[in-house]
């Protein structure tokens, strides 16, 4: 799941620009694609939250983390608050309207991009990151299509 954020950072701008500048049929597909990319970022965020909770439980199991001299509030600084906000910001994509809103997507993208560091140095690493992202993207897109979760689908009774 750690490669999802890299795939999101590299691909989302193209589809956001496409949903703004292209014609109606292509605009719809670009919007579908950035909705799926938003869901991938949401899944990545849920995974990262689980990792942070596991790390906190591990530190608590070691014992002696919080003593009378050192409280949890002493660890709160700008970096920790930024990490918490970076983890909580993509949770807005739980809501269907926010998932399809281009301005919310751009805002979350800029926040994630601000915290992002590119760590790939070799071309095969980039290739595997793109292949991993495309495969996850295909699974989520197919799930959305099968469950008719895209905004253009109208419910017919």
pLDDT 10s digits, 93-104: 888 788 888 888
**Does 153 fall in a domain?**
no
Q: State the pTM of this model.
A: 0.77
- pLDDT at residue 135 tops 80: yes
Q: Is residue 103 part of a domain?
A: yes
Per-residue pLDDT tens over the stretch 32-79: 888 888 888 888 888 888 988 888 788 777 775 555 666 666 666 777
Number of domains in the chain: 1
Look at residue 105 and tell me if it is in a domain.
yes
pLDDT at site 66 = 59
pLDDT digits (tens, 9 = 90+) for 7-34: 888 888 888 888 888 887 788 888 888 8
Cα gap 152→17, rounded to integer Å: 19
- Residue 28, domain extent: 4-147
Q: Over 80: is that where the pLDDT of 88 sits?
A: yes
Whether 53 maps to a domain, the answer reads yes
């Amino acid at each position: 799941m750690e490669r999802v954020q890299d795939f999101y950072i590299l691909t989302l701008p193209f589809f956001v620009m496409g949903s703004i500048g292209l014609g109606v049929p292509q605009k719809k597909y670009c919007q579908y694609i950035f909705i799926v990319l938003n869901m991938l970022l949401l899944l990545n965020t849920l995974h990262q939250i689980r990792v942070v909770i596991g790390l906190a439980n591990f530190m608590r199991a070691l014992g002696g983390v919080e003593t009378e001299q050192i409280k949890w509030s002493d660890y709160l600084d700008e970096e920790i608050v930024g990490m918490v906000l970076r983890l909580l910001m993509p949770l807005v994509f739980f809501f269907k309207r926010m998932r399809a809103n281009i301005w919310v997507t751009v805002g979350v993208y800029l926040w994630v991009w601000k915290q992002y560091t590119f760590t790939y140095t070799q071309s095969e690493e980039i290739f595997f990151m793109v292949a991993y992202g495309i495969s996850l993207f295909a699974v989520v897109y197919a799930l959305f299509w099968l469950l008719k979760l895209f905004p253009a689908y109208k419910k017919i009774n």
